[in-house]
Amino acid sequence: MTGKICGTGSCIPEAVWDNQKLSEMVETSDEWIRERTGVAARHIALGEETTVSLAAGAARAALENAGMSPEEIQLIIVATVSPDKLMPTTSCEVQKQIGAVNATCFDLNAACTGFLFALNTAQAYLSQGIYRTALIIGAESLSQLTNWEDRSTCILFGDGAGAAVLRASETGIYGLVTHSVGDMGEVLTCSSRNRKEYANGPAAPETYMQMNGKEVFKFAVSKVPEVIGELLEQEGLTTADIRYFLLHQANERIVRSVAKRMKTDMERFPVNIENYGNTSSASIPILMDEMNRKGLLKPGDKLIFSGFGAGLSYGASLMEWQ
């Protein structure tokens, strides 16, 4: 038994901050950001928009796309590194907003690898017959964790949410390989602003995302092809068997470099970072939703999802579009 994806959705904040706007906030330029990252603009959650509202919006869109009612959902997992609150969980808040009264809900934090781990977790429940339906969501308001005075990080990130509805299926394939490297945790960090030592005065710099960009870049371009290779070998497949590789959208140069290292045409490595920036756990499901709605995903297509991020963690999963 596997879980097949039967609906996708996304929810993107209305406000768009293009590179020009950022160049008025920090010393940077449209040309530098595009050249180094591929990002042209990112969406920012403002006013009533929150991680919960974006997650709920993506969930509603995915349910509509699947033709399912919220009551049919038995499991909700929200992957997020930027919840509005620690409690109640984002997933329970989503449950309340959409009326998924029969679901068991929990959140999962694996930073930018979060959606991949949520997909793996849902697959484990569905393949064991514990639940027959699941809603998985990657949702982020990274703008809350971004230091808008730090040009080495603020140019990269954006807000948004993506979701997928899964149903247990007798057919289909699913395979995964995941790894974590806690020893490298220091290259991408963010401390909680709720801690006592940060309680008074303006937010301390360490309570915003801090990143050694070069180390993360090197890690991603070496580990992503490696883990995809491991997965292909484990499943007895080659790159030629895979229709699309949906990679976490962290930096277009990372995606290009992975494609090159795997000697595979960029056409099979879709990219949409130009319009969203890096939306962490939301990037893969937003990309998948765009492709689904454009009719690019056909039954029988073998897809590999691959994510990496803070922890550090990384992994790849294989599934067939049904």
Q: Is there binding between residue 179 and ligand COA (CB under 6 A)?
A: no
Question: What secondary structure does DSSP assign to 244-280, as a single string?
Answer: EEEE--S-HHHHHHHHHHTT--GGGS---HHHH-B-G
282 binds ligand COA (CB under 6 A): no
- Of 306, 321, 316, 115, the closest CA to residue 231 belongs to 316
Q: Record the tokens describing residue 124, joined without a space.
A: 């484990």
Whichever of 168 and 216 has its CB closer to ligand COA, that residue is 216
Q: Does 24 bind ligand COA (CB under 6 A)?
A: no
Total residues contacting ligand COA by CB under 6 A comes to: 18
Q: Does 37 bind ligand COA (CB under 6 A)?
A: yes
**Cβ atoms of 249 and 276 closer than 8 Å:** yes
Instruction: Verify binding: residue 227, ligand COA, rule CB under 6 A.
Output: no
Token reading at 121: 């977790």
- Partnered with residue 309 across adjacent β-strands are 313
Residue 248 appears among annotated catalytic residues: yes
The length of the chain in residues reads 322
C-alpha span between 115 and 113 (Å, rounded): 6
**Residue 137 lies near ligand COA (rule: CB under 6 A):** no
- Give 278's DSSP letter: B
Tell me if 20 contacts ligand COA by CB under 6 A: no
Catalytic hit among 92, 105, 112, 190: 112
Q: Which stretch binds ligand COA (CB under 6 A): 12-20, 71-79, 130-138, 150-158?
A: 150-158
Pick the catalytic residue from 19, 248, 251, 292.
Answer: 248
The token duo for 315 is 């992994």
Among 134, 155, 164, 228, binds ligand COA (CB under 6 A): 155
Residues in contact with ligand COA by the rule CB under 6 A: 28, 32, 36-37, 112, 151-152, 155-156, 211, 213-214, 216-217, 250-251, 278, 309
Residues with active-site annotation: 112, 248, 278
